[in-house]
Homo-oligomer: A and B are copies of this chain.
Amino acid sequence: VSALRRVAIIGVGCTRVGEHWSRSLVDLFSEAALASIEDGRAPEIDAVFVGNMFSGFAVHQEHLGSLLADSVGLSGCSAVKVEAACASGGVAMHQGFTAVASGMADFVLVGGVEKMTDTSVPVTLDALMMAENREYSASSGITFTGLNALVARLYMEKFGATQEEIASFAVNGHRNAVNNEFAQFRSSITVEQVLRSALVADPLHVLDCCGIGDGAAAAVLCPLDRAREFCDTPVEVAASSVATNVLSLCERDDPLSFDATRRASSRSFHAARLSPRDVDVLEVHDAFTIVGVLSLEALGFAAVGEGARFASSGGIALDGAIPTNTFGGLKARGHPVGATGIYQIVELFWQLTGRAGKNQVDGARIGVAQNVGGVDSTSAVHILRRVDG
């Protein structure tokens, strides 16, 4: 195999997640992208990778690579949109990593953006179901929340987990989001509030589910051996992997095994010569509480069937075994779907460079981000490492 170059992140930026009624997709991306370029003091940008799931469906705009590169003064460079449902941000990061690692580009802007509130909620829910098989699953009438509810019910039945234990994942995210100025929901909640909130798809209550929001996030990558020219505290992308699983939940042998995440994390840990024990801070894709639970198990931070109990017993808290979703996660920071994978990278960068404020994990050196499309039909797993000395 060829000799890949080592890759670093030198700057990041993002918008607040929320209902940005007065701002367009272009406005949001530009704010995040320009912030990341300024943060990283990048002298140039050779290529742009934009993660986005459904701009065509929702705002009737495609060609986001060229459009958004142009919007921040980068017309001329290589630019492309990449899509893998809610993992679009993570796969954009993966393509950016590959471009720098290969030597095809030196300075790469990776961004994610989603404008979810320009259409009605039923249209947005229909858009999200494009992550599953339209001809079969979607035509049955089930929603994306419904699919995840089936998974939650099966998990409870098989492992004796309780709704309270699963709900603790949302409580953790909300607690952390209080201190995140970019979060969509900055209020603490309790397990009792989750269980008293409206039932969306039994057993998932509305507070088990992430909200609908607009947002954009961006990061600038360059070769590690040049990173210190532009950044006092570069962070290395120690590994980047994308993997898939059988797309449709109904066709899988084991609906409770997140095999895309298992494959991607196995490859990334192997490439970085690290294991879950080495990780100081974790971002998992908790689009629904049950997804956070199963992700902990697939990544190797909890045994099979133990994820919910691990979370509810404090394992994912800031002072727990593995501080998780320290800026609120999808549930509380928000989940503008195509941007989420990049928000995770932004937040890990802040943790690993000591910029995480009140939620700083002391001495955090290794971070992992897991970003999922569909019900773990695609998974992108990145391992970031602080560069010491």
Residue ranges of A at the interface with B (Cβ–Cβ < 8 Å): 1-5, 24, 26, 47, 53-54, 56-57, 59-67, 69-70, 74-85, 91, 94-95, 98-99, 101-104, 126-127, 130-135, 138, 241-248, 259-260, 263, 373-374, 377-378
Contacting pair B57 A57 (CB below 8 A): yes
Q: Please determine whether B104 and A63 come into contact, CB atoms closer than 8 angstroms.
A: no
Residue of B whose beta carbon sits closest to that of A126: B60
* Assembled-state Cα–Cα distance A5/B82 (Å): 24
For A104, what are the chain B residues with a Cβ–Cβ distance below 8 Å?
4, 98, 101-102
Q: How far is the CA of A260 from the CA of B83 in the complex (A)?
A: 23
Cα of A93 to Cα of B85 in the assembled complex, Å: 21
Establish whether residues A24 and B79, one from each chain, have CB atoms under 8 Å apart when the complex forms.
Answer: no
Q: Are the C-beta atoms of B76 and A245 separated by less than 8 Å? A: yes
Contact A56 B57, beta carbon cutoff 8 Å: yes
- In whole Å, how far is A223's beta carbon from the nearest beta carbon of chain B? 9
Q: Which of B5, B56, B78, B244 contacts A130 (CB 8 A)?
A: B56
- Contacting residue for A78 out of B2, B4, B81, B241, CB 8 A: B241
Q: Residue A5 contacts which of B2, B91, B242 (CB distance < 8 angstroms)?
A: B2
Cα A67 to Cα B2 in complex, Å, equals 30
Q: Do A103 and B1 touch (CB < 8 A)? A: yes
Query: Is the beta-carbon distance between B78 and A62 smaller than 8 angstroms?
Result: no
State whether B26 touches A135 (Cβ < 8 A).
yes
- Across the interface, do A83 and B101 meet the contact criterion of CB distance under 8 Å? no
21 A-B pairs, CB-CB below 8 angstroms?
A2-B4, A26-B135, A56-B56, A56-B127, A56-B130, A59-B134, A63-B130, A63-B373, A63-B377, A66-B244, A66-B373, A75-B245, A76-B244, A76-B263, A79-B242, A79-B244, A79-B378, A80-B242, A101-B102, A101-B104, A102-B104
Output the nearest chain B residue to A71 by Cβ-Cβ distance.
B247
Q: Is the CB of A378 within 8 A of B65?
A: yes
Q: Determine the chain B residues whose CB is within 8 A of the CB of A3 once the complex forms.
A: 2-3, 103
Give the interface centre of A56, A62, A91 by most chain B CB atoms within 10 Å: A62
Contact of A53 among B60, B62, B130, B247 (CB under 8 A): B62
Whole-angstrom distance between the alpha carbons of A263 and B61 in the complex?
25
Which of B64, B102, B373 meets A98, CB within 8 Å?
A: B102
CB distance from A244 to the nearest CB of B (A): 4
Which residues from chain B contact A78 at a C-beta distance below 8 Å? 94, 241-244
Output the least CB separation between A332 and chain B (Å).
25
Closest chain B CB from A163 CB (angstroms): 29
Do A67 and B126 have beta carbons less than 8 Å apart? Answer: no
Q: Is A63 a contact of B378 with CB atoms below 8 Å?
A: yes
**Contacting pair A83 B84 (CB below 8 A):** no
A175 to chain B, nearest CB (A): 32
B5 touches A246 (CB 8 A): no
Q: B76 near A80 (CB under 8 angstroms)?
A: no
Minimum CB–CB distance from A205 to chain B (whole Å) comes to 26
Contact of A67 with B247 at beta-carbon distance under 8 Å, contacts A81-B84, A84-B79, A95-B95 already known: yes
**Given contact pairs A82-B80, A373-B66, A99 touches B101 in the complex (Cβ within 8 A):** no
